[in-house]
Amino acid sequence: MATRGYPEGHVFYRTLTRALPLATRGEGCWIHGEDGRSWLDAVGGAFVASLGHGNAHVARAIGDQAGTLAYLNGTQFTHAPVEKLSAELARRAPGDLSHCYYLGSGSEAVEAALKLARQYWVESGHSEKTKVLSLAPGYHGNTMLALSASGRPRYQTFFHSWLVSVPRVPAPYPYRCECAGQSAECPVCSGAALERAIVDEGSGTVAAFIAEPVGGSSTGASVPRTEYWRNVREICDRHGVLWIADEVLSGAGRTGTWSALEPYDAVPDILTMGKGITGGYVPLSVVIAPQRIVDVIAGGSGSLLHAQTFSHHPVACAAALATLEEIDRQELLPRVARMGTLLHERLKVLSTHMHVGDVRGRGLLAGIELVANTATRQPFARSEKVAEKFAQAAFDAGLVVWPNTGHANGVDGDLVMLAPPFIVSESEIDEIVRRFQKALSAI
Ligand code: PLP
């Protein structure tokens, strides 16, 4: 049987309304199915499989660590993989970010980062700092605090009564901004809107501002103006607000630099990474904080109040270390920058399509915005489900992409995202574009 779906078997599937093919093997940028079909994985599943599928070095490191010492509790022991990985991540992190706390998913890292910010303020005598600000659109995960911080109304649909209030600041999103990202004076694109929101809330009450340095799925690889994050840094300093950079999607090399913030020359107070940090071989995420923040906890209560059984996991840390080794050995960061330039060059051909409003991004991260009218940027009505139909047409053409909706006005908006593995070849990029064009003919 080539596909499986609810209510067959006993899996509570991620999607209950359509059958899924049974995948049996991955190899580089390709996923092979039970029925002999193959798909070109142009988005690493979900911006995750950065090394490609079937990397023997990472698989061996996982097996070796599992055979040596699979689990330790982080309150009882430390171990070589976590020590080595933390030294490596600190060496690569921007500015004074130096101490690494590990979780499993991006949502958990965001929860922990926000709790760290709150605990820092309470333990340094500022318990009045309770509020978190975030960008809209924006995404930080699906657990309750991360979901509260996410400017993505659809995900919140059934859970409003459980969420905390997180005031929103409009995201720098050139394609949907009146200034098209061209004006240094634009309140949204300059960061002035953040300062206004902090002042309106009362800066003494604001604990943290969380944001994605380069837009992820919510704004489809939108790249803020060059001065944006330096302005944010100054605003947060001026008002005593901790800036949390959520690099769960954009980090770990995806945009051609280890941190997507590197080209901005701005250093956040706390940084999160996840997704590609182990190339997807096992789940791992990390919160990286500077000593000046960790010192306050060390000198106060003595630990971050965010105990999780599987944090600092030896096998996951060994997988991340092996991933870093592969990134260095294969010189993948300069390769992402090089192949990213090629990808964006080749994607230009899509712009001539009557429903492609914008093609954008950085490195091997690209967003293609589909609109009803390219002159007015009018989105399709949500009822047309254009992004979903496109993603299905692409899948049928053997191409895995990431569809996204709702960014234009909270309901409408159709985006398609690409984030191929860092090892993608030139001919595979051509194949991605060819299959993309084929799927476009379906809308
Ligand atoms: N933060 C960002 C920027 C993300 O893109 C995501 C997931 O897409 C998350 C957090 C949540 O990560 P996870 O799905 O691993 O919980």
Per-residue pLDDT of 335-384, as tens digits, reads 999 999 999 999 999 999 999 999 999 999 999 999 999 999 999 999 99
User: Does residue 138 have its Cβ closer than 6 Å to ligand 1?
Assistant: no
Structure tokens at 320: 């991340």
pLDDT score of 1 more than 70: no
User: What is the location of CATH 3.90.1150.10 in the chain?
Assistant: 3-55+331-442
User: What is the location of CATH 3.40.640.10 in the chain?
Assistant: 58-329
- Tell me how far apart the alpha carbons of residues 156 and 159 are, in angstroms, rounded to a whole number: 5
CA 108 to ligand 1: nearest atom: 16
- Tell me how far apart the alpha carbons of residues 442 and 386 are, in angstroms, rounded to a whole number: 10
- Which residue reads 């090394």 in tokens? 51
Q: Are 101 and 114 in contact (CB under 8 A)?
A: no
- Which residue reads 């914008």 in tokens? 358
User: Does residue 428 have its Cβ closer than 6 Å to ligand 1?
Assistant: no
Q: At what angle do helices 314-329 and 332-347 cross, to 10 degrees?
A: 70
pLDDT score of 2 more than 90: no
Substitution site in 50, 111, 114, 139 for ligand 1 pocket (most atoms within 8 Å of beta carbon): 139
Per-residue pLDDT of 94-135, as tens digits, reads 999 999 999 999 999 999 999 999 999 999 999 999 999 999
Residue 13 Cα to ligand 1 midpoint, Å, equals 19
- Tell me how far apart the alpha carbons of residues 57 and 325 are, in angstroms, rounded to a whole number: 9
Residue 242 Cα to ligand 1 midpoint, Å, equals 20
CATH numeric code, 3-55+331-442: 3.90.1150.10
User: Does residue 135 have its Cβ closer than 6 Å to ligand 1?
Assistant: no
> What CATH class has 58-329?
alpha beta
- Tell me how far apart the alpha carbons of residues 128 and 15 are, in angstroms, rounded to a whole number: 42
Q: How far apart are the first and last CA of the chain?
A: 30
Residue type, 353: H
Q: Whose CA is nearest to atom 10 of ligand 1?
A: 140
Pick from 250, 245, 308: which is nearest to 275 by CA?
250
- Tell me how far apart the alpha carbons of residues 193 and 197 are, in angstroms, rounded to a whole number: 6
- Tell me how far apart the alpha carbons of residues 420 and 404 are, in angstroms, rounded to a whole number: 17
- Tell me how far apart the alpha carbons of residues 94 and 172 are, in angstroms, rounded to a whole number: 22
Per-residue pLDDT of 150-190, as tens digits, reads 999 999 999 999 999 999 999 999 999 999 999 999 999 99
